[in-house]
Amino acid sequence: MWLKPVVLRDADLTKRLSAETTVAWCREAILAAHRGELLAPPRAHADLGDGRFAFTAGRLVGRWYGYRSYDTLPTETGEQTVVVHSEQSGRVEGVAVGKEIGPMRTGAIGGVAADALAAPEASTMGIVGCGPQAWMQLWAINAVRTLSGVSVFCRDPETRRRFAANASERYGLEVRAADSAEAAVSGAQIVVLATSSGTPVVDTGAIDGSAYVSTLGPKQIGRAEFDDSLARRAGLIVTDSLPQLRAYDPPFVLRDTEHEKRIVSLGSVLAGDTQPRPGTLFCSVGLAGTEAYLVARLLGL
Amino acid sequence: MWLKPVVLRDADLTKRLSAETTVAWCREAILAAHRGELLAPPRAHADLGDGRFAFTAGRLVGRWYGYRSYDTLPTETGEQTVVVHSEQSGRVEGVAVGKEIGPMRTGAIGGVAADALAAPEASTMGIVGCGPQAWMQLWAINAVRTLSGVSVFCRDPETRRRFAANASERYGLEVRAADSAEAAVSGAQIVVLATSSGTPVVDTGAIDGSAYVSTLGPKQIGRAEFDDSLARRAGLIVTDSLPQLRAYDPPFVLRDTEHEKRIVSLGSVLAGDTQPRPGTLFCSVGLAGTEAYLVARLLGL
């Protein structure tokens, strides 16, 4: 009993979770949620004054249940926790603590989505945003497509230059810092928006009509990194969690628009119930239970 | 960095948390919440199908923030987790995993309440319920009053006999198994209701008019171990958390009764803002943040 729970730290995760493995496991999780085997309720919150805790729970019925907790207080590290219980015993089998698990699974969900929704031959990518989320999107999408050129833009020239240099070195790719968001996405077959902006970050007209577009950043009424022009150009709109999208408060930016009813789940695409189409828009909201799924997989539960 | 987080298990808690210490620390926490230094929002929940996660969070402003998680799935162990972050770094400083922390802090809150609200010379105690919560109430109240006689009742004769024998041995007290709830509480100066019953468990008329009464079990409309006759006899009604009481869904059993407005916080009694009175009713709801407070105290945060 003294061996439980297993405690995993960032180094354990980054060592054992390659992009390929993480994408494959997130794909399993999304399909399990689609089949109703993985319960993934909307996030719960607890108020902490000038910030709050968020809890994203999940349960693989008959196997395990768990959650990730994170907070929005302005701390130095922003560490998060994942807890996984065995369903039969109730015992806490594993605890993961660190900063990596959140971005890794969000990255991997982005990899699953790009694999399912971008053209198989897509090889050019434009990224708006230079933070950890942008970095992990590249990490995951690089594992599902053979990329030949990547452009990245964010407001600070030094930050985008560093992102491009680091990414070139890490992945052996041609990664270029662009002078504008429009220049970054122009001609790209895969477009990733991964900012914390509350207003649209790119002119939709600059995006190729058949490009696959993924949005990671704010997507609530009054605070969104895109507007409905991005939905209008999309032949298909997909999200990793319809319940999470519907639970947004303030509401999802496309709520009560003509586009709202067109949104389908990524699980339905993976299951073959929905056919992918050129020009798809993917709204990443963070399917609950996916972090616990990764930790449970690492523990062999 | 490899030493963080500290992981505490039940044996660490039971070894280091005496009843006296746990009551003293819970008293600090309740006073800190009363002064607004400890933020203690109502519980958050996440649906898990035939059960759910509950998260009780807290933040000692400027020092730490954390939570306890527990669930209502029918597992063998019912293990819970407490996570505490340093406020400045955001780092997870400690994780406690096990079954003891919840009952220990609920017991200790009961000890704080009995110490503040029962007559100083109270020495006789009647307990209805024989589960872990009842056990921990005795553990804590025994630390704040010199008990001369304790009676206990629950429906199963063997269970109450065993509770009485174990408690007599553990605390060197005269603990007697009673034949009915009324017999258990009759003549007692301290009455503890700690059942999981959805209907009243004792005839209020059997309780001495000046006795201090504490209720630990269900207290929601449609499912409560007491009815408003217990409130009617009470000169004062106290709870450890007014926000938690107001957040109950279904609502608190005294909601929209003449008694609702009379309820005051235990913190206000400890601070001297409310004077204790004979015949007080204490409604224990579990002030959030108290479990994290205990773990933070153990870690010296």
Structure tokens at B230: 């217990």
The residue type of B295 is V
Burial of A161 (0-12, 13-18, 19+ CB in 10 A): middle
Q: How confident is the model at residue B1 (pLDDT cuts 50, 70, 90)?
A: very low
Contacts of A78 in chain B (CB under 8 A): 90
* Yes or no, beta carbons of B90 and A73 under 8 Å apart: yes
CA distance B277 to chain A (A): 34
With contact defined as beta carbons under 8 Å apart, do A100 and A13 qualify?
yes
* Yes or no, beta carbons of A90 and B73 under 8 Å apart: yes
- Tokens 């005795």 locate to B138
Tell me which residues of chain A, numbers 106 to 145, contact chain B at a CB-CB cutoff of 8 Å: none
- At B4 the pLDDT is 81
* Yes or no, beta carbons of A48 and B59 under 8 Å apart: yes
CA distance A12 to chain B (A): 11
B64 in A contact zone (CB under 8 Å): no
Calculate the alpha carbon distances from A231 to A134, A208, A292 in Å: 21, 14, 31
Instruction: Compute the mean pLDDT over every residue in chain B, rounded to the nearest whole number.
Output: 96
Mutation target for A interface from B9, B48, B100: give the one with most A CBs within 10 A: B48
According to DSSP, the β-strands at A281-283 and A212-215 are parallel
Burial of B261 (0-12, 13-18, 19+ CB in 10 A): exposed
A268 three-class SS: helix
Give me the percent of chain B exceeding a pLDDT of 70: 99
Please name the member of A5, A59, A81 whose beta carbon is closest to the beta carbon of B48: A59
Please name the member of A49, A55, A288 whose beta carbon is closest to the beta carbon of B44: A55
Q: Count other C-beta atoms under 10 Å from residue B242's C-beta.
A: 18
In the DSSP assignment, the letter for residue B193 is E
CA distance B287 to chain A (A): 14
Closest chain A CA to residue B288: A46
A295 three-class SS: helix
What residues have CB less than 8 Å from A9, skipping those under 6 apart?
A96, A97, A98, B1, B2
CA distance B41 to chain A (A): 6
Which element (helix H / strand E) includes B247?
A: helix B242-247
The arithmetic mean of pLDDT across residues B114-133, rounded, is 97
B244 beta partners: none
* Yes or no, beta carbons of A5 and B77 under 8 Å apart: no
Contacts of A97 in chain B (CB under 8 A): 4-5, 92, 95
- At A1 the pLDDT is 43
Contacts of B57 in chain A (CB under 8 A): 46-48, 53
CA distance A135 to chain B (A): 22
Contacts of A4 in chain B (CB under 8 A): 97
In 3D space, the residue among B207, B142, B133 whose CA is nearest the CA of residue B168 turns out to be B142
pLDDT tens by residue, B225-256: 999 999 999 999 999 999 999 999 999 999 99
A128 beta partners: A153, A193
pLDDT tens by residue, B18-64: 999 999 999 999 999 999 999 999 999 999 999 999 999 999 999 99
A81 in B contact zone (CB under 8 Å): yes
Give me the percent of chain B exceeding a pLDDT of 90: 98
Tens-of-pLDDT digits for all 301 residues of chain A? 456 899 999 999 999 999 999 999 999 999 999 999 999 999 999 999 999 999 999 999 999 999 999 999 999 999 999 999 999 999 999 999 999 999 999 999 999 999 999 999 999 999 999 999 999 999 999 999 999 999 999 999 999 999 999 999 999 999 999 999 999 999 999 999 999 999 999 999 999 999 999 999 999 999 999 999 999 999 999 999 999 999 999 999 999 999 999 999 999 999 999 999 999 999 999 999 999 999 999 999 9
* Yes or no, beta carbons of A65 and B79 under 8 Å apart: no
According to DSSP, the β-strands at A237-239 and A281-283 are parallel
B3 pLDDT above the threshold of 90: no
- At A4 the pLDDT is 81
In the DSSP assignment, the letter for residue B79 is -
CA distance B280 to chain A (A): 31
A72 in B contact zone (CB under 8 Å): no
In the DSSP assignment, the letter for residue A110 is H
B139 three-class SS: helix
B39 beta partners: B59
Contacts of B5 in chain A (CB under 8 A): 7, 95, 97
A271 in B contact zone (CB under 8 Å): no
Structure tokens at A151: 């452009």
B29 three-class SS: helix
pLDDT tens by residue, B155-203: 999 999 999 999 999 999 999 999 999 999 999 999 999 999 999 999 9
B37 in A contact zone (CB under 8 Å): no
In 3D space, the residue among A83, A129, A84, A77 whose CA is nearest the CA of residue A100 turns out to be A77
Question: How far apart are the two ends of chain B, measured CA to CA in Å?
Answer: 17
What residues have CB less than 8 Å from B178, skipping those under 6 apart?
B126, B151, B152, B153, B160, B184
A202-233 core/surface letters (b: 16 or more CB in 10 A; e: else): bebebbbeebbbbbbbbbeeeebbbebebbeb
Complete domains list, chain A, with CATH: 6-102+289-299 (3.30.1780.10), 111-283 (3.40.50.720)
Of B127 and B3, which is predicted with more confidence?
B127
* Yes or no, beta carbons of A81 and B92 under 8 Å apart: yes
